Amino acid sequence: MALKLQAALNGNETVLQSESSNTYSGELSAPVLPVKYRNGAREYPLSVVAEDDAGNISRNNSTIISVVNPVHFDFIISDSAGNEISYLDNMEMDLDVGDTNDFEAVVNFWDDKMFSYNNRIYIPETEYGGIIGDREIITKNSEIVLRGYTWRGLLSTKVIIPPKDSTNLILSGEINAVVRMLIGDYFGNLFYVPDEDTQKSVSNYSVDRFTDVASAIYKLLDSISMRLNIRYDQDKKAVELKAVDVLDYSEELEYSQDNKLDFDIRDCRNGVNHLICGGSGQGLEREIIHLYVQQDGSIGDTQYYFGLNENAQFYDYANAESTEKLREDGENRLKELQNYKKMSLSVDDVDLEIGDIVGGREYITGTVVKKPVTNKILQKKDGTISPPRYPAPSVKEVSKIFKRKSHGLACVNRKHSSRSSRTYLCRR
């Protein structure tokens, strides 16, 4: 029988009190930063010492206790190399992914170390984060405003320059390997692409001249129905980029008035369906290509719409480098101008990824659309993050922390009394 159980966390020790013949409890302060995040929980090192009635001592110093956050992860701020400094709780945050790709954080205190230029602000294991590049001091309100690009925004700050004596950068290979080539050494050690085989590849893929890195990656992945997945890897102190398949949630996630949401659905049917593309040359020597929208929305060389239903437009691209480029850019232009269905709505209770597909339906006209997610906004105000990041707290058994003779001991997180303290139960 154990007469005494003692636990230590972050250099603090406490004697666990007996609750029953085999259950002991106690409260300890958690470190400012956990060892790591894993599966929606914070993980901390815990040391437990047991002493029986004969004075025999058993000790375990390698236990990891898992604590589930009540609602969400906190933002963490680190230096430019990824060395973590602190949580950033007392702030307001407005972070955009997919549109402006920037963030604005408001705090009411100053710390030179925390708020240095190029420091990182992020939620581990998510895309939500970026680098401080703009600071504003507002003395009237005693506020510090921190602004910067998100990870996705940073990708748009570098331009891909074709190799010398080449019009375009040409790439071939497995998709993640090609993404790695596009990233190159533009960003130092901030981004990395894992060695994961997607089983998809391209051959002699031509990157647009002087396009930015983000646009190049999006266009590459869109051509093979994939999307870019972004997450901050706390272990590697870097942002992971990798190509993943687009997920279609339109059957499971179809938003309508039944969801008590306000949204806009636009069904435009007077778009351009015949695009005349003018390339290089003059007069009768000028290169002309006719592109036509087909009944299914695809683009071909045969006219489908005639008479009143035809809507034609001229596209002037006199600097087109080749017939292939004229056609490629003409098709992209026609896609922008043709008939379309557009859905705009705001959903607070789900967190989907940019590029994944959802559905929408309105009952007034019966319009149904399937569209990819193009924009996400994360806001933090009054200590609450929207959309919620993780489920409500739960009791989670961690592991058996040691065995001695016929005895074993396991610790679980029982309750969350505050952000800085946790109560653990140890059971033989």
What is the percent of the chain where pLDDT is above 70? 69
In 15-122, which residue ranges form alpha helices assigned H by DSSP? none
54 shares its domain with 124: no
pTM here is 0.60
Nearest to 327 by CA among 364, 281, 276, 370: 276
122 shares its domain with 17: no
Distance CA 107, CA 135 (A): 11
Nearest to 402 by CA among 147, 50, 52, 113: 50
Q: Are 97 and 354 in contact (CB under 8 A)?
A: yes
262 shares its domain with 347: yes
What's the pLDDT at 146? Answer: 95
- Of the listed ranges 117-121, 206-210, 309-313, 352-356, the least confidently predicted one is 352-356
Q: What is the DSSP letter of 48?
A: E
Gyration radius of the chain's alpha carbons: 28
Nearest to 113 by CA among 77, 139, 87: 77
Measured in Å, how far apart are the chain's first and last C-alpha atoms?
Answer: 10
89 shares its domain with 107: yes
233 shares its domain with 282: no
Distance CA 38, CA 125 (A): 8
Task: Name residue, tokens 């929408």.
Answer: 360
Q: Which residue did the predictor score with more confidence, 70 or 207?
A: 207
Nearest to 213 by CA among 269, 149, 274, 261: 149
Q: 257-263: which pairs have CB atoms within 8 A and are 24 or more residues apart? A: 257/362, 257/363, 261/345, 261/346, 261/347, 262/345, 263/343, 263/344, 263/345, 263/346, 263/360, 263/362
**Which of 278, 308, 338 finishes a domain?**
338
Domain of 222: which CATH number?
3.55.50
163 shares its domain with 232: yes
At 23, the pLDDT band (50, 70, 90 cuts) reads confident
197 shares its domain with 236: yes
What is the percent of the chain where pLDDT is above 90? 43
Question: Residue 83: pLDDT above 70?
Answer: yes
Distance CA 315, CA 312 (A): 10
Distance CA 47, CA 42 (A): 16
Question: Residue 101: pLDDT above 50?
Answer: yes
What is the rounded average pLDDT of the residues 332-337? 91
**Which of 211, 245, 279 finishes a domain?**
245
How many Cβ atoms sit within 10 Å of the Cβ of residue 400?
Answer: 13
Q: What mean pLDDT, rounded, does the chain reach?
A: 78
322 shares its domain with 348: no
The domain total for the chain is 5
400 shares its domain with 370: no
21 shares its domain with 130: no
Question: Residue 117: pLDDT above 70?
Answer: yes
pLDDT, tens only, 356-393: 777 666 666 666 666 677 777 777 776 566 554 433 22
Q: Which residue did the predictor score with more confidence, 327 or 367?
A: 327
219 shares its domain with 164: yes
260 shares its domain with 350: yes
Distance CA 378, CA 309 (A): 43
Give residue 316's domain range.
270-338
